[in-house]
Chain A
Amino acid sequence: MLELRNITKTFATVTANDHVNIKVEAGTIHAIVGENGAGKSTAMRIAYGFYTADSGEILVDGKPVEINSPHDAIALGIGMVHQHFMLVDTMTVAENIVLGAEPGNPFQLDLTTAANEIRKLSEDFKLAVNPNSVVENLSVGQQQRVELLKALYRHARILILDEPTAVLTPLEVEEFFAILRRMREQGKTVVIITHKLAEVLAISDDVTVMRDGRVVGRVKTKETNAAELARLMVGREVLLRVEKPEPKIGPTELEVRELSVTSPTGAKRLDKVSFAVRRGEIVGIAGVEGNGQTELIEALAGLIESSQLAGEIRFEGKDIIRSGARSRRELGIAHIPEDRHRRGLLLEFDLAENSILGVHYRKPIVSLAGIFLDDEAIQERANEIIKNFDVRPANPALPARALSGGNQQKLIIGREFKVNPKLLLVSQPTRGVDIGAIEFIHRKLVELRDAGCAILLVSAELEEVTSLSDRLLIFHDGRVVGEVDPKVATIEEIGLLMTRGH
């Protein structure tokens, strides 16, 4: 049905796809698995015409085809639902669905016919959604349905779904899988990109495993198991397990009392959250992404306007909810942000300049009247971070943009560790980072904990939070819905809490 042959694609210095071969049989659900950065999305974006491959060919129904834009892909019956939805928020569901494939003539946009057709599709595939709603008012799950309808409306025979379950709760995942099975029954072919093995085993017929931009395995789902897939994905037997000694817990460093965050549009992002973090422990937060974790960390770091906050943030006993990011840093709160490009780095600036962000106005970085930057002190600081955290290439004059994701992350971690924080806020510390760096980062976090730092850790990787944390809080819909001991709690138990709260 859909076949990628010898696809190679290079971005700047990174080879995202290295002679990739993927063959998807008609009428099946085909899973493409691999870790973050394995090249799954790149391969499928090439199939959908978002990227153009450097070399290799694409075959549809056994015939070689040219796909230079999504326009071409759609014409060939390929549809794609992206991880970040591709919807125009300000337009209605119907407008979004017909966009680019409008019914009627060029002089008249016939949305009535469209709405009828959409209703029929909704019924066929049990994808209930009102064609006249404006997209920005829909829930994430509903938006995903719009994306599916968009592809179906274009008569897609092959549907590519990029990490479709990342935004869904386990219960919603079940419903979603039911939809996928219905599609298969109706003769559609589905390609699902994921890094969650349980889902692969639950839904797919065939599996292609990718690692480091290459295809490392192709198996029938029936003939494999989680262990084998995991080994293929990671390239070795055991998944991440962190060796760590018993925590030596000290007094309370951070105490959050009934903290609420209300967005400017009035939506409650965080609803009366209370918990504490003590010195020498790692408190983990688990939950489906988008359930308030981002807002919690940003609120604690002083990055959300205090007008949107309610409650208390007590640091060493004092309420700091009204103080800004700078004064919180001065108190000894460090922050490793979830999105290093958005928050963590000045990509155009060199490593030296990046190494002083946050302390750029303090001694010893400024000398001479407390105004002028001391270049020697900056270089010294940068070199020290580069050395201690093994940042490569070890050249402080390089722009941060030139580094790989893992090295960028190590630079940020080094910078934040350098201030000897009393409290460290960490979000997604190993996202898009290679295996070697992951272990390094985990070890450093445990070292910092053992040195007496209080650490609050948010991660979408359930394995990561459970293995690193000493205590684990579960987030759902902006609330803490449970606390478990990560040493004894099972993944099922945690997953249940993540879904529905109590």
Chain B
Amino acid sequence: MKDLFTVALLWSTMRLSTPLILAALGGLFSERSGVINIALEGMMLAGAFTAAAVTHATGNPIVGLVAGMGAGLLVALIHAVACIRYRADQVVTGTAINILMIGMPAFLSGAFFLSSGSTPQIPKENLLPYTPIVIAFLLVPAAWYVLYKTPFGLRLRSVGENPEAADAAGVRVATMRYWGVLLSGVLAGIGGAYLSIGQSSLFTRNMTSGRGFIALAALIFGKWRPVQTLLACLLFGFTEAVSIQMQGVVKLPSGEDIPVQFIQMVPYILTIIVLAGFIGSSRPPRALGTPYQKER
């Protein structure tokens, strides 16, 4: 048991936390502006596919990364327009985007690469195994600063708490919410890109396998605050790292494997407990999920 907690485990935790941190910070900007973002999953998928496809085509992972950000941004734009301009239900729109983004990359890779939903393998030298990790960890203090120490952050938070008051104070509510959602797309896009051109070397169908939702869970677990969210992401990354390491290594006294399913459940159960208020109170932005509409 002891030899489990090694440098390798630490490194693995960091690697596995990285996509969560990026997506969760994205979610942070969106939700602090008052727009629920369960579309993080879809935005990550868009980023993952585009980054892999573009890196494959150009041979340059940086270009791929930027393209992944762009794809996340584009998907976020759909979410933003639907939720802000057309005041669609944010959860429904998010669900639609998630379904759309399971289909779209698979469809495109089927058309471009004639494969069933994956991109061709990218050679090792064209991968970006470290850069996104650095970006993720640097972005946490940056997000904190932006949110709490700049006029932009003040305005963003105000439209998430009380859009009417913000409007009356001359803040353009819709503009701020667009910023929040679009930023979330860019960040989730990087998170997705890291999955396909950092952690692995190709895009596979539905490769995020729920990481967008875990990021969302981390955001709630972190009470919509950047530093707490980072800690939550590290915790969830750690559980994933442990579950991978334990597979086939650690046995129960009865000689059976410890079921990975139980470890996989941890983040979800923790989130439910936190949300119910058993561990401190987790108060979301007050206007979260409410479209802002002026009488005209």
Contacts and interface: CB of A to CB of B under 8 A. Distances in A.
B170 A101 contact: yes
A78 to B, nearest CB: 11
A51 B296 contact: yes
B295 to A, nearest CB: 6
Contact of B168 (A51, A80, A95, A108): A80
B154 A99 contact: yes
B151 A102 contact: yes
Contact of A50 (B155, B162, B168, B171): B168
Interface string A64-95: 00000111001100001010011111110001
B150 interface: yes
Contacts of A85: 165
B148 to A, nearest CB: 8
A372 interface: no
Interface residues of A, number: 33
B150 A109 contact: yes
B161 A102 contact: no
Interface in B155-212: 155, 157-158, 161-162, 164-172
Contacts of A89: 161-162, 286
A52 B157 CA distance: 26
A88 B165 contact: yes
B294 interface: yes
Contacts of B170: 69-71, 74-75, 100-101, 154
B146 to A, nearest CB: 9
Contacts of B171: 71, 99-100
Which of A11, A74, A100 is most buried by chain B, counting CB atoms within 10 A of its CB? A100
B152 interface: yes
A71 B169 CA distance: 7
B154 to A, nearest CB: 6
B19 interface: no
A87 to B, nearest CB: 6
Given A100-B155, A109-B153, A86 B286 contact: no
Contact of B167 (A69, A87, A107): A69
B168 A88 contact: no
B2 interface: no
- Chain B contact-residue range equals 20 to 34
B165 A109 contact: no
Given A50-B294, A91-B161, A109-B149, A86 B168 contact: yes
Given A88-B158, A91-B157, A70 B167 contact: yes
A109 B171 CA distance: 15
A174 B168 CA distance: 27
Interface in B1-21: none
Contacts of B152: 106
A150 B153 contact: no
User: What DSSP secondary structure best describes chain B's contact surface?
Assistant: helix
Contacts, number: 85
A86 B150 contact: no
Contacts of A106: 150-152
Contact of B295 (A51, A69, A96, A108): A51
B105 to A, nearest CB: 36
A70 B163 CA distance: 13
A100 B169 contact: yes
A86 B165 contact: yes
A51 B169 CA distance: 15
B177 to A, nearest CB: 15
Which of B152, B158, B168 is most buried by chain A, counting CB atoms within 10 A of its CB? B168
Interface in B116-174: 148-155, 157-158, 161-162, 164-172
B295 A86 contact: no
A48 B294 CA distance: 13
Given A11-B295, A90-B286, A71 B162 contact: no
A82 B158 CA distance: 17
Interface in A87-136: 87-91, 95-96, 98-102, 104, 106-109
Contacts of A86: 162, 164-165, 167-169
A101 B196 CA distance: 43
A70 to B, nearest CB: 5
A11 B151 CA distance: 35
Nearest to B168: A86
A442 B194 CA distance: 71
B150 A107 contact: yes
Which of A11, A70, A98 is most buried by chain B, counting CB atoms within 10 A of its CB? A70
Nearest to B285: A90
A174 to B, nearest CB: 27
B167 A108 contact: no
Contacts of A70: 167-170
A80 B168 CA distance: 8
Contact of A108 (B150, B161, B286): B150
Nearest to A71: B170
Given A106-B152, A107-B150, A91 B158 contact: yes
A126 B154 CA distance: 27
Nearest to A105: B151
Contacts of A95: 154, 158
Contacts of A150: 169
Contacts of A48: 168
A52 B155 contact: no
Interface string A41-57: 00000001011100000
B154 A102 contact: yes
A95 B153 CA distance: 11
Nearest to A45: B295
Contacts of B148: 109
Which of B155, B157, B158 is most buried by chain A, counting CB atoms within 10 A of its CB? B158
A86 B164 CA distance: 7
A275 to B, nearest CB: 37
A106 B154 CA distance: 11
A107 B153 CA distance: 10
Q: Return the 10 tightest CB-CB contacts between A and B, nearest first.
A: A102-B151, A86-B168, A100-B169, A100-B170, A86-B165, A71-B170, A100-B171, A74-B170, A99-B169, A88-B162
22 contacts: A50-B167, A50-B168, A50-B295, A71-B171, A82-B168, A86-B164, A88-B158, A89-B161, A90-B161, A91-B157, A91-B158, A95-B154, A96-B169, A100-B169, A102-B151, A102-B154, A107-B150, A109-B149, A109-B150, A109-B151, A109-B153, A154-B170
Given A88-B165, A91-B154, 16 more contacts: A69-B170, A69-B172, A71-B170, A71-B171, A80-B168, A85-B165, A86-B162, A88-B161, A88-B166, A95-B154, A96-B169, A99-B154, A99-B165, A102-B151, A104-B151, A106-B152
